Structure 1
Amino acid sequence: MKKIIRYYLLFSPLILFLTNCSKKEVNEYYARPDDLEPPIYQQLESRGNFQNLTTLIEIAGYKDILGKAGYWTMMAPNDAAFENYFQEQGISDVSSIDSLTASKIVKYALIYNAFRSERLSDYQSNVGWEEDLAFRRRTAYYDGFQEKTVNGSTMVVVGSNRNNAEGGDSYIPGDNNNKYISYFTEEYMSAATLGSYDYNFFFPNSTYTGFNVLSSEVVQADIVAENGIIHEVSKVSLPPLNIDQQLEANPNYSLFRSILEENLVNYVFDQEATTTYQNYTRKSDQVYVKVYDAALSFSPNNENFLKATDNDGQSDAYTLIVPENSVLQTFVDEVLLKNYESLDKLPKYVFEDFINAHMIQAAVWPSKKGGYSNALEEDIRIDMDTDVIEAKLLSNGFFYGTSRIQESNLFFSVYTSAYLDPDFTLATRLFNDGSGYREIASNIYSNYTLFLPSDEILMNLGFDYDINRSEWVYVSPETGNEVRGSLARARIARVLYNGIVPTPNMELNDLSGSGIIRSGDFDLPGEYIKWESGQVFAAGNEVLGTKVNILGYEDQQNGRTYYIDNILEFSEEFQGVDLAALAAETDSQYAYFFEFLKSSGLYDSASGAIDGIELGTPYTFVIPSNTAIMQAVMDGVLPGDPLTGVPNFTPANDAIKEGITTFVKYHFLATKTASDDGLINGLTETLFKTELGEKTYVNIVSTPGDLSFVDAGNRVANYIPLESNHLADRTLIHLVDNYLLYTE
């Protein structure tokens, strides 16, 4: 009852008004206000200089739409623009324009929603207006379903309206993939620090005015209509091609397109698209979506940009760099097919990487090229002024036809030697599986030497990859024991990482002498390897008595690849075994320290293990020479004859043994492997911890050709070069001329 009374009270004044009013008064009450501007069609018609446009609006069937309520922005070409268009097309007047062309001109001139000029530069983000970030708007025009000949068969095709790389559907029903129109306002260009150079790069025969729509000038802005805003422009614009269509239309890029089409495109049947098409056309054809490979940065036929938010296409677009046929053919012949018979023999990932090297998920403005990276996170390496032979501003992005390929790291680095050779697929698989090795070896701004074993070498040594189970396999040649999965992968990863060596000054181009060098990246150190008289070896090679011979080499932009007949093997014996071997040599200067190690109780003579020292962990052994040990005896630090320095390796009591243990542990540096190469400096933790469990430290001082260690009391122990840099498992063993002493 209350609701009825409430509604009655609400409507009763209106009922009384209508009851007491004449029909004339009612009409006047609801009449269109006299000061309201006419709709777009009538506004154009009344102005007198849009006769050609209004004719096309009628032909296109848009008179009713634009002649009543709505919300549009129209980039309206005037009659002078059409006169120029008629001359360009070789036609006499508007009567020669068919309905399809009329529809294209009208729909592409129409932007959804009404925007005055001051709002066109603002981006409608999901958090509200963002000023001066937009240079594009979605239009009413879209290509829709089209008949195409694919592999000799005619089919109905529709373009992707999402990027397959996003992991979702590449086609969303109901999204027509509308084309965008680009414009250039002073507000946007200034905010983006762009200017006439950027505009004229795409439109060299036009004048940049501060408000241009594609190649045309805005003659009069902000003509208000009942259903929107009109901006009068000086040229007729047909919908531009998208990137996919540009590749199809221009035979100068047919080789690039064929690489895409034959390897990274599928035509996928879509039931919803088929139903829509059949309902609309009353035809029975099935519809296929042209889908680009998910590994690509974007789909060249997607008009919607990223679609992370609904309108992100207002503020950005794609860029594709496309080398013309002759340049690309040279690259194919000299690089891609250096070790393959034909393109169809190449792995798919090569095509994905090559295309991604030329894709940028952003609008790359010519003057700001240095601020962008391609889909492989590499800088853009074409010169805009000398390498670009054609620049197109398309409906979904920028297109640069070039006389140069984008020289990706992957095709011009030491990594390339494995990547583009079918004899090295195991190494390539490991490099590419997220190990980070690819990124290291392919960095053309840092020099590396790569020691590369072939598939045959690796398989002969027990390494393989099980395709069916997607896992690494290792079978020990000595024992026949098999390990799989992460353990097998860790093993081959360590072996291959031993073969990636930073050589900023190409230090390993001459292997005729001898030396030591650290493998791996500067940020992620590997292990030390050595070379001598043309052979290389790691700690495991010394254990096995097998060195690595060079079979040949290839120079790349960032270094040299050596093809090798063996692997740089890591050691699997305890470091104490290596120290024992050094101590056992005739007149060994390691002997006294080793004897104290044994008497400390830290050493297991059966296995060679040292308590607290783990396999696979970096260490530096700082071993005082016999002379230094005798000085420690004379100084009362170690037991023995204080007059002669002759050591006593048998501790008389637990206190003396504890002192020996402290002394020994303080000479084992944990967590870092230091050599005389200047790579490791600073305080480094030792194996010794105080009674309270606090860590103790020794300072490493390393410069090229020199190495010393400083204890807490500033005692300095210098390495003895000819007796140092001995290899062990992730460890270097150095002989020094003084002992180190822990003090509080």
Structure 2
Amino acid sequence: MMKKNHYYLFVLLFLALLSSCSQDVFNEYYARPEGLEDPIYQQLEARGNFKNLTNLIDKAGYKNILSKAGYWTMMAPNDEAFTSFFQEKGITNVSNIDSLTAAKIVRYALIYNAFRLERLSDYQSPIGWEVDNAFRRRTAFYDGFQTKIINGVSKVIVGSNRNGTNYYINGDNNNKYISYFTNEYFAAQNLSNHDYNFFYPNANYSGFNVLNGSVKEADIIAENGVIHEVQKVSLPLLNIDQYLESNSKYTLFRSLLEDHLVNYYFNQDATTTYHNFSKKSDNVYVKVYDPELSFSLNNENFIKQSDNDGQSDAYTLFVPENTVLQQFITTVLLKNYTALEKLPKYVFVDLIKAHMVPNAVWPSKVGSYNNELKENIRFNFNTDITDAKILSNGFFYGTNKIQKSNLFFSVYTSAYLDPKFTLTTRILNDGSGYREMISNINQKFTLFLPSDTVLRGLGYDYDINRSEWNYTSPVNNVKVAGSIARSRLLRVLYNGIILTPNGELNNLSGSGIIRSGDDVLPGEYIKWKNNKVFAAGNEFAGNTVNIIGFEDQQNGRTYYVDKLLEFSEQVQGLKIKSLAAVPGSEYASFYSYLSNSSIYEAATGKIQGVELGTSYTFVIPNNAAITQAVRDGKLPGNTTTGVPNFNPSLQGQKDMVADFIRYHILATRTASDDGNVYGQLETLRRNDLGEKTYIQITSAPGILTFKDSANRITNYIPSMSNNLADRSLIHLVDNYLLYAQ
């Protein structure tokens, strides 16, 4: 028994010795390497000029975190910085700073991940480092849950941490960013001291600044990160939403947002997190900006297309002061409305978007940016900016002017800001591109604007329940809906949009003709006479459009009208027939050949190869020119007397007539004597090989000539030309066009 006990004692001693040896090996392997720098807290403590900061780290409960392993960058304010901070705050020393403020200072000085100066200017993109493309980093500070009075009710609020409809992601704390400025970034972005001092006029740009403080020493390496010694204390910056709330100069702008474009939505995930954190039972609501805005003013995360995109860019908001905004509301927004509450929501959306830029707008590069309406920034940074702030989620500029947006100072405005024209506004806004055209304040337009009453009286309306346009013909009561009705209304309205760079339609007392649309998308021709206007459809129906008022805008004039500038639904052959039916008409001989030709349908007036809705120019020789064509053997008839044979029996002569007519119809373009269309135009005639044939056009004010393939010149006769038809003009000319093989 004694031997057995001795045996067990020997085994235990051996195991203890083995264990001791293993522990020594373990400790040696995993021991802190020699020469490793101390952690951040110990570094700050050992340097001796961060006593105030270490005191706050202790008070905030971050000593343990910053004393062991980790991966941080600390923008560490030194004691000199705190001396200035105490003076600014009217306190004597660090003991006057409470634990809540201490935590703000410490957490806002802490950046996730360790960055030396050489890396701070680089953006951590999803595909790798983008050199010298960053000026911001995410910090450890976030606001969290706030209790606020909303419409008289106390609510627990949390900010959106995304833009758009997916406005809140659970687990994202909406951490604030801190901005810094380095020579590397400024050089790469072509920025200068001016860009820094525009925001911080009383600070010196040193080549490495954190907000308004210069960095005294960079790249102090610690075991758990990097320290940059800063000569300013920074409290967490407000975001744009918070700054608006805090500044009485912008209460009117904020009220437009809060009253019309902000909602508070209950969120279960946020509520659960709040219950677990606070042990309270309140519901939590997310403050949500309308998803039609390009960004949420309380979102700290930038666009979040990638996790770190906030390093390289930020939002910008221009905000007019109360006085100038009130003047704009009174004179522009409420010109035709009795109260702001009566305005459609899209007006508020557009007004705010006119002042939003989804980028950080640097003062020296303002010309490089567009607002969310795709307009250039129209503020003079030398005279119009009264307040410039770098905030946690972007740049803020207070202004003494409104962004002079196209939507509020163009002929489009006449419909847009008047409840009598909601139908026209709706269709202009639905992607046709017409809104963008007529709201361009860099081009002059004339707009003939029908009211909702006029449109409905002529059969047009919008079915909100079905989200579709309707048209009921006043003539035969036939109804069409959807895209057909929409296309029809767009065509009618386009007749009333005319590019007038020199105010060509400011005086309608005389007479004239002009093309609608612009140079990119040419429309149809309309005419005016004695303060009345008409298009081809009006001429066919025998009515004219009366002007019942007008309004001048920055880019032209709006005429209010009692009818529509209708397009014609009459085939062009019938229009030629009506021109020829006038006693003594110079169109008579041509029409006689046309009406008996193989390419004309007598019952309908349709010309083979000519389609409604397509652009054409009809070049019609007068009676004398037709007689000459007969004499020259280019049309059937007596070549000696020139008497035409309008109804030849021989097939060869029928083909001659058909080819003659086709050569006098120019396809794809509508030419007039306005200089808009010139050069070679394709005809309907094909040569023996089936190839296209062409006519050369010369056009200028008062001049319209046609050169045929035989190089003969034919001139239009002004007094009997420019006759309107469906997307066409019909001209009388003094000679016939000769096709030479």
SS in 2 for 1:137: strand
Distance between the aligned counterparts of 1:533 and 1:303, measured in 2?
Answer: 61
Contact conserved, 1:50 with 1:79, CA < 8 A, in 2?
yes
> How big is each residue's C-alpha offset from its partner over 1:462-507, in whole Å with a ceiling of 9 and x where there is no partner?
1111111111111111222211111111111111111000000010
- What is the Cα deviation at residue 645 of structure 1? 2.1
Partner residue in 2 for 1:474: 471
Decide whether the 8 Å contact of 2:197 with 2:205 is kept in 1.
Answer: yes
**1:489 aligned partner:** 486
Q: Is 1:640 paired with 2:645? A: no
CA distance in 2, matches of 1:18, 1:623: 116
Alpha-carbon distance between aligned partners in 2 of 1:575 and 1:312, rounded to the nearest angstrom: 60
Greater displacement, 479-488 / 291-300: 479-488
Q: Superposition pairs for residues 16-95 of structure 1, below 5 Å?
A: 21=21, 26-95=26-95
CA contact (8 A) 1:18 1:26 kept: no
Instruction: Provide the TM-score with structure 1 as the length reference.
Output: 0.96
8 Å CA contact retained: 2:528, 2:534: yes
Query: Are 2:148 and 1:148 equivalent residues in the alignment?
Result: yes
Letter of the 1:154 partner, please give it. S
Q: Secondary structure at the match of 1:600?
A: coil
SS where residue 411 of structure 2 aligns? coil
User: Which residue among 716, 722, 727 is the counterpart of 1:725?
Assistant: 722
User: Structure 1 residue 265: deviation in Å?
Assistant: 0.6
Aligned-partner Cα distance in 2 for 1:19–1:95: 50
In 2: Cα distance, 1:690 partner to 1:310 partner: 65
Deviation at 1:59, TM superposition (A): 0.8
Query: 2:369 aligns to what?
Result: 372
Give the AA of the match of 2:289. Answer: Y
**2 CA distance for matches of 1:478 and 1:709?**
39
In 2, the alpha carbon distance for the partners of 1:693 and 1:306 equals 57
Match of 1:462 in 2: 459
Q: Letter of the aligned partner of 2:131 in structure 1? A: E
Residue 451 of structure 1 is matched in structure 2 by 448
Q: Which residue in the other structure is 1:185 paired with? A: 182
CA deviation profile, 1:52-74 (whole Å, cap 9, x unmatched): 00010111111011000000000
Q: Quick one: distance in 2 between partners of 1:364 and 1:545?
A: 57
Shift, 1:704, TM fit: 2.0
1:734 aligns with 2:731: yes
In structure 1, the residue matched to 2:530 is: 533
Q: Which amino acid aligns with 1:679?
A: N
Range with bigger deviation, 481-490 or 368-377: 481-490
- The match for 1:7 is none
Same amino acid, percent of matched pairs = 67
Instruction: State whether residues 319 and 399 of structure 1, in contact with CA within 8 Å, keep that contact through their aligned partners in structure 2.
Output: yes
In structure 1, the gaps of 5 or more residues are 1-14
Q: 1:602 to 1:18 in 2, by over 3 A?
A: farther
Within 5 Å, give how 1:91-130 maps onto structure 2: 91-130=91-130
Alignment partner, residue 313 of structure 1? 310
Where do 5+ consecutive residues of structure 2 fail to align? 1-14
Secondary structure, aligned partner of 2:673 = coil
2:137 and 2:663 mapped to 1: Cα distance?
Answer: 70
Cα distance in 1 between the residues matched to 2:603 and 2:576: 14
**Pair 548,636 (structure 1): closer, same or farther in 2 beyond 3 Å:** same
* Superposition pairs of residues 338-487 of structure 1, within 5 angstroms: 338-487=335-484
Of 587-596 and 319-328, deviating more is 587-596
Q: Cα–Cα, structure 1 residues 661 and 199, in superposed 2: closer, same or farther, change >3 Å?
A: same
Q: What corresponds to 2:560 in structure 1?
A: 563
CA distance in 1, matches of 2:25, 2:521: 86
Amino acid at match of 1:42: Q
Deviation at 1:637, TM superposition (A): 1.1
Which whole-Å CA distance do the structure 1 matches of 2:378 and 2:540 have between them? 46
1:241 equivalent to 2:245? Answer no
Q: CA RMSD in A?
A: 1.4
> Deviations 1:559-617 (Å, cap 9, x if unpaired)?
00000111101111111111011111122111111111122222222222111111111
Q: 1:618 aligns with which of 593, 615, 619?
A: 615
Q: Secondary structure at the match of 2:366?
A: helix
Structure 2 Cα separation of the partners of residues 475 and 498 of structure 1? 20
d(CA) in 2 for partners of 1:588 and 1:643?
24
CA deviation string 1:236-263 (max 9, x = no partner): 0011100011111101100000000100
Alpha-carbon distance between aligned partners in 1 of 2:25 and 2:570, rounded to the nearest angstrom = 105
The separation in 1 between residues aligned to 2:176 and 2:625, in whole angstroms, is 81
Matches of 1:519 and 1:699 in 2, distance apart?
23
Compared with structure 1, are the counterparts of its residues 142 and 596 closer, same or farther at alpha carbon in structure 2 (3 Å cutoff)? same
Q: State TM-score, norm by structure 2.
A: 0.96
Q: Aligned equivalents of 1:198 and 1:57: distance in 2?
A: 33
Q: Compute the displacement of 1:375 (Å).
A: 0.3
Tell me if structure 1 keeps the 8 A contact 2:597–2:647.
no
User: Could you tell which deviates more after superposition, 224-233 or 685-694?
Assistant: 685-694
Summarize the alignment of residues 686-701 of structure 1 with structure 2, pairs less than 5 Å apart.
686-701=683-698
Tell me the amino acid that sits aligned with residue 81 of structure 1.
Answer: A
The alpha carbon displacement at 1:542 in A equals 0.6
Contact 1:599 1:657 in 2 (8 A): no
Residues 79-127 of structure 1: CA deviation (Å, up to 9, x unaligned): 0000100010000100110111101100000000000001000000001
Query: Could you say what secondary structure the match of 1:351 adopts?
Result: helix
**3-state SS, counterpart of residue 307 of structure 1:** coil
Cα distance in 2 between the residues matched to 1:689 and 1:102: 87
Which SS does the other structure have where 1:561 is aligned? strand
Amino acid at match of 2:70: G
Shift of 1:187: 0.3
Amino acid of the structure 2 residue aligned with 1:281: S
Tell me the distance in 1 between the aligned counterparts of 2:694 and 2:363.
54
Q: Please report how far the alpha carbon of residue 643 of structure 1 lies from its aligned counterpart in structure 2 after TM superposition.
A: 2.5
State how far apart, in whole Å, the 2-side matches of 1:394 and 1:408 are. 25
